[in-house]
Structure 1
């Protein structure tokens, strides 16, 4: 297991600076290690974005 994936498992995601996008008044990006979607809540503060599980159930990932 890579150390980066272990850090992501503990919630220490790293924002991929090349993948930052502006979407409907917000800023979203992906983690550079595990591709988890992240949303900017405050300047320099990113939170994991809740995404539906492909519309197949009511679970959030």
Structure 2
């Protein structure tokens, strides 16, 4: 029983890691396109987003 639980946890961990890799890839592509649209370097566009989020939070 414990081995089955460990296997289930390991499978969940693998699915989570794969989902995070996919999310990271999509985030990077969206950031690249947003930066291009603004005419900025990707790090500058990320900074703009961080500043806007901080202003919104107060």
- Give the TM bin, normalised by the shorter chain: under 0.3
Q: Which has the higher strand share?
A: 1
**Larger radius of gyration, structure 1 or 2?**
2
TM-score, normalisation: structure 2: 0.27
